[in-house]
Structures are given as structure tokens and as C-alpha cells.
Amino acid sequence: MKKCRICGKKAIIYMPHHRLALCREHFVEWFEKYTERTIKEFKMFTKKDKVLVAISGGKDSLALWHVLRKLGYEADGLYINLGIGEYSEKSKEKVLKFAEKINGKAIIVDLKEELAGIPELVKITSREACSVCGLVKRYNFNKVAKEHGYNVIATGHNLDDEASALLANVLNWNEKYLGRKYPVLEEEAGFVRKVKPFCKFTEKETALYALLNGIDFIEEECPFSEDATSVFYKKILNEIEERSPGTKLRFYLDYLRKIYPKFRKEEEKKELQPCKVCGEPTVGEICPVCRLREKVEASSG
């Protein structure tokens, strides 16, 4: 039985990649300090910034909202109802209950009212469900943040998310992605700054923090995520991690230190302009979401 490195009590978690065993009290304390340290290390935001946390009802985003408010940051939540039947209704319920519990402000956007639910969008486009979902979420995060005066968007992406996405894009040598794979994407040409304060935490660590703090999150996975390639890459990385603890963190951090700067220098900057329909930044004359809206209108007409 491992003992807490700080107080000697029975440890509830051992993190081999940090060579650290901690009890309940000291794990929560460590998690919050490590979040603060990550925010400062990457210069994500300060107490003067207005932060909008993209919340899904899951463990990572609700834990992030909880931590930021506990650390004294001005942070509100944004929930996008994706219209995925019972799953979305359950998620929304968790978000509203949590907002009430922490006396926080939650902005709710209903995708069905704005555009159409994800199931409908999947039917009228050649994109995979996760791709469509990511597109409309990013669009709404940025749009809502600007409309409500937030200058930072924070997401709950954890180390498992970041490392698996990195692996997928290294295997496919997606240079465009690799030039933007960083915990902070600065504001530019109509885009609000985006940050990932949990980028160094494993999924297990964020889940434990949420449980220890009594955060009631949705445990079911999105119905569309079953065939997602990210699940496959996470599984591979977990098997490697089992054999060689610390691989995930080392893979991600070494990329940030050694490889990202090279890809960043070579990244081709594309000229952005306001979409002629909605005004959001885009490469072409009309942004992808407005083109999607045209398809929705054509299919319903």
C-alpha cells in the first residue's frame, strides 16, 4: 500500500509519470496548484480576464469550471445543446444543476434553434459526426464569447485528448494541425483566445478530482463517439502507457518543446476575412457554418 508523499496517510492515487502518491486532501490541493501553474506557464490568462468555459456536462469541463472559480478567476460557462436526444437533455440537466450549485452563470445555446441538431446535420453533409460537431461548437464558442464580452475561451481537453490527437496527426503528418497544436491559441482576426488548462492532466486525474469534489457529471459517452478515431488512438496510447509509464506526458511535452516551434515557423498563415453572411472570421467569402445553414434550408425547403 502506497502512502501519501506529503503526510504519510494512505494514498488514493499513485501517478507513476510524476512518481507521486497522494491522499485525498493532498491530491485535491496538488491538482489545483498544478492547474494554476499550467495557466501561468503558458500565460493563458490572468484574474483581469473574462473567461468563458465550454461545458458539456462531462467530468473535464465541469471540473475545469469548478477549479477556475475556486482559484478566483472570473469564469462563466457555455453549454451548447447539440440536439442528440436523451444524451443532450441529460447533459443540459447536469450543467444547470452544477451552475446552481456553484452559483455560476451558464449561457445555453440550442443548436436546433440556431441551425439544426447534430443528427440532422450528419444526414445532410458528407462530414463525420465528430467533425460536424467540432465545427459548429467552435463557431458558437467564438461567436458567443464575443457577443457577451469574454476575451478567453477555456476547454477541458486533458492529456489523453491532446496526446491521442497528436499521435493521429503525426501518423498522418498533418502539418497544418501540428503548427497549431498548442495549449494556447492567441486571438487573431476575429478569433478569441483559446486555452486548455487541463492539458497536462490524464483523464483518470480529472475524473478523480471531479468525484472527490462531488461534481455530478454525465458518465455516458456521446452516441456518435463510438466509432470515433480518437477512441482508437487513446486505447493504443493507454496500452503503451501501461508498459512504459510517463510516455503520454513525455510525448506531448517533448512535442511542445522540440517540435511545435519548427512547425509553427513553417505554418502558412492564411488571410482571414469576415464571413459575408454572419461576420465570423473565415478563409473564404462564406464560412463553413453558413454553408451548412444553406444546406439545412435547402433540405427543409
Q: What residues are designated binding site for ATP?
A: 54-56, 60, 80, 156, 161
β-strand 193-195 against 152-154: which pairing, if any? parallel
Q: Which three cell numbers stand for residue 195?
A: 486555452
DSSP E strand stretches across 221-267: none
Residue whose C-alpha cell is 439544426: 116
Residue whose C-alpha cell is 478523480: 208
Residue 104 and residue 141 in contact, taking contact as beta carbons nearer than 8 Å:
no
Among 259, 282, 255, 277, residue whose Cα is nearest residue 190? 282
Residue 52 and residue 141 in contact, taking contact as beta carbons nearer than 8 Å:
yes
Binding residues: 4, 7, 23, 26, 54-56, 60, 80, 156, 161, 275, 278, 287, 290
Binding residues for Zn(2+): 4, 7, 23, 26, 275, 278, 287, 290
Q: Please state, in angstroms and rounded to a whole number, the distance separating the CA atoms of residues 17 and 61.
A: 23
Q: How many CA atoms lie within 13 A of 187 on its CB side?
A: 13
Q: Which three cell numbers stand for residue 219?
A: 458518465
| DSSP three-state, residue 148 | coil
Among 107, 248, 100, 263, residue whose Cα is nearest residue 182? 263
- 154 forms beta bridges with 53, 195
DSSP string computed for 4-49: -TTT-SBPSEEETTTTEEE-HHHHHHHHHHHHHHHHHHTT---TTS
Q: Please state, in angstroms and rounded to a whole number, the distance separating the CA atoms of residues 109 and 95.
A: 12
